Amino acid sequence: MRLTCPHCGPRDSREFKYFGDAKTARGDDFASTYLRDNPAGEHAEIWQHISGCRAWLEVVRNVTTHKVISVKEAGQ
Amino acid sequence: MRYSALEVIKQGLTGNKSWRPVWRTPAPKPSYDVVIIGGGGHGLATAYYLAKNHGMRNIAVLEKGYIGGGNVGRNTTIVRADYGQKGNSAFYSHSLKLWNGLSAELNYNVMFSPRGLLELCHSDGQMEAYNRRANTILARGDKAEMLDRNGVTDFAPYIGMNNERFPIKGALLQRSAGTARHDAVAWGYARGADALGVDILQNCEVTGFDIRGGVVHGVETTRGVIKAAKVGICVAGRSTQVASMAGMRLPIESHVLQAFVTEGLKPFINTVINFGVGHFYISQSDKGGLVFGGDLDGYNSYAQRGSLGQVEHVAEAAMSMIPAMGKSRMLRSWGGIMDMSMDGSPIIDSTHIKGLYFNGGWCYGGFKAIPASGSAYAQLLATGAVPDYASAYKLNRFETGHLINEEGTGAVPGLH
């Protein structure tokens, strides 16, 4: 699987670290901590390009096909 | 037909003409006392124990695909009881006891082979932690022993002892752990349940629930509406989707875990070895293939296949632990979908909907749990209460704070 970093271009997924569902990434209540939609389809998620530019990214990916639909900087 | 050596001889002398399919393919009845969603190991075991231990007969197991086609056929067949946390410890201990008598119980050879489990330790601190773990296991009446470096070499001489990064200090050995034949477990429970009158309905996908006034009345399926007083969800890998049809949002993320097998080799690996710091474990199947795997790929996935990065990582770990493996050729790799719970431990509980029960969140430990999970879930479905050994697996423990976090990694499913 490859992710196209907005700064560095297409890179192997091993350069990135996964931080889970983007919807619950910032919350600190019970639901954000423990409950997940966990869809079998498109999933918005947070990754960090830890072996590259270290940017925090929001990736939309189809988790059933591993097709990456979009990558942008998180919070934009 | 009861299987025995005499039966094999009798059939052999008469041209093997009388063997029959071991379970029926009935049409769905309009209603059942209990419907179990999911014909995997856990679902079939639940149906079997419902019939066997609780005398129920009007039971259906609904399977979207075919028996043995899900995670029960995609795992690496390891059976162990080396858990330290209260709750897990009693449960897996009970499961291991059931494994020991399972072939006789089912009159079906599940090929349970207690060939031992070796968990390698690489530092003084880890030796201390595993000493404590071994004492916990001993204190509850199971078996465990600690080996020093020489003990590891004597027990498994093919392990590379010159690992610079992770020198081997010793290991925890549980001789009563081992492997089993995964397909046979599914087929054996299916045959046993069918013989007791359970209807196994394959190619029957649940598409909705009939829930009125907070009470479940049945399910809608691709083969029509089926009424039931009690419905048990038991669908490893699709728990979120099935539970969401009942309006539930679960503490579960689904991740992919890969496994690998080499070409068949002569007997070489005599035990199950867990090389935890290298993210690697291995055993050898009775057919001769080296069966091994590593950690999760690390991101949500329902793909049943993983990325090449993890293939490379696992191969590197294999080479650093057993250098001789480099001469073998990898035959196949595959992925299974793990419903990872938020504390790494499973759920067996009733839900807020009357008559609807939930069993899931087995992470990558579901196979060894099959007998205990089935008997506990059967008791829950029959009586409304789980037995003591499974009483910690509550659905609301994430709210009440009674987490069972074996790895101590927090609410990050990808790290359990």
Question: The tokens of B56 are what?
Answer: 């129920």
> Strand, coil or helix: what is B300?
strand
The distance in angstroms from the start CA to the end CA of chain A is: 24
Residues with Cβ within 8 Å of residue B180, at least 6 apart in sequence: B77, B79, B99, B102, B110, B111, B112, B113, B367
**In this structure, is the dihedral angle defined by the CA atoms of residues B322, B323, B328 and B333, taken in order, positive or negative?**
positive
Residue of chain A minimizing CA distance to B309:
A14
Task: Give the span between the Cα atoms of B231 and B357, in whole angstroms.
Answer: 6
Q: Please give the full DSSP string across B177-230, using - where no structure is assigned.
A: -EE--HHHHHHHHHHHHHHTT-EEE-S--EEEEEEETTEEEEEEETTEEEEEEE
Task: Tell me the mean pLDDT in the region B48-70.
Answer: 97
Predicted confidence band of residue B56 (pLDDT cuts 50, 70, 90): very high
B120 Cβ neighbours under 8 A, 6+ residues apart: B152, B159, B168, B171, B273, B274, B275, B276, B277, B321
**CB atoms B309 and A63 under 8 Å:** no
Q: What is the pLDDT of residue A67?
A: 96
Per-residue pLDDT at B382 exceeds 90: yes
Best A19, A36, A71 residue to mutate vs chain B (most B CBs within 10 Å): A36
Asked if the Cβ–Cβ distance from B254 to A21 is below 8 Å, we say: no
Under 8 Å between Cβ of B142 and B84: no
Asked if residue B353 lies in contact with residue B311, where contact means CB atoms within 8 angstroms, the answer is: no
| Contact between chains at B241 and A45 (C-beta distance less than 8 A) | no
The residue-averaged pLDDT of B24-44 equals 98
Average pLDDT value for residue range B147-160: 97
Written as six digits, the tokens of B63 are: 């399977």
Name the average pLDDT for chain B.
Answer: 96
The CATH architecture annotation of domain B24-78+182-251+343-415 reads 3-Layer(bba) Sandwich (3.50)
Tell me the mean pLDDT in the region B66-93.
94
Q: What is the mean pLDDT of residues B341-361?
A: 98
pLDDT greater than 90 at residue B407: no
- Nearest CA to B112 out of B144, B155, B80, B151 is that of B80
Average pLDDT over residues B66-71: 94
- Alpha carbon B357 to its chain's center: 19
- Predicted confidence (pLDDT) at residue B31 exceeds the cutoff of 90: yes
User: What sections of chain A are H helices per DSSP?
Assistant: 30-34
- ipTM given for this complex: 0.96
Structure tokens at A72: 């942008």
Specify the pLDDT at position B322.
95
Q: How far apart are CA A48 and CA A53, in angstroms?
A: 9
As a whole number, mean pLDDT of residues B59-82 equals 96
Q: Which residues of B touch A36 (CB under 8 A)?
A: 240, 249-253
pLDDT digits (tens, 9 = 90+) for B169-187: 999 999 999 999 999 999 9
The domain ranges of chain B are 24-78+182-251+343-415, 113-177+253-340
Name which of A1, A13, A34 is nearest B411 (Cβ-Cβ): A34
The CATH T-level fold of domain B113-177+253-340 is D-Amino Acid Oxidase; Chain A, domain 2 (3.30.9)
Residues in B whose CB is inside 8 Å of some CB of A read 238, 240-241, 249-254, 298-303, 307, 309, 342, 398-399, 411-414
Is residue B416 pLDDT above 90, yes or no? no
pLDDT of residue A28: 84
Mean pLDDT over B231-248 rounds to: 97
A46 Cβ under 8 Å from any chain B Cβ: no
Q: For position A62, which CATH number holds?
A: 3.30.2270.10
Helix axes B88-100, B366-383, angle to 10 degrees: 100
pLDDT beneath 50: ranges in chain A: none
Taking phi over 0 as left and psi of -120 to 50 as alpha, with beta for the rest, B195 belongs to alpha
Instruction: Provide the residue range defining the domain that includes A55.
Output: 2-73
Could you give the CA distance from residue B36 to residue B409 in angstroms, rounded to a whole number? Answer: 33
The mean pLDDT of B289-307, rounded to a whole number, is 94
Q: In sequence order, which residues have a C-beta less than 8 Å from that of residue B184 and are 6 or more positions away?
A: B108, B109, B110, B111
Query: Counting one residue from A and one from B, how many pairs have CB atoms under 8 Å apart?
Result: 66
Structure tokens at B235: 């669908």
Residue B351's pLDDT is what? 98
pLDDT at B200: 98
Q: CA-CA distance, B86 to B40, in Å (whole number)?
A: 27
Predicted confidence (pLDDT) per residue in B307-350, tens digit? 899 999 999 999 999 999 999 999 999 999 999 999 999 999 99
User: What average pLDDT does range B92-102 have in this prediction?
Assistant: 97
**Looking at CA atoms only, how far is residue A45 from chain B in angstroms?**
9
Read out DSSP for B375-395? Answer: HHHHHHHHHS---GGGTT--T
Q: Residue with structure tokens 């590891």?
A: B152
Cβ atoms of residues A29 and B393 within 8 Å: no
Of B249, B302, B414, which has the smallest distance from its Cβ to A40's Cβ? B302
Number of domains in chain A: 1
Mapping DSSP to helix (H, G, I), strand (E, B) and coil, where does residue B18 land? Answer: coil
Chain A residues with CB inside 8 Å of B311's CB? none
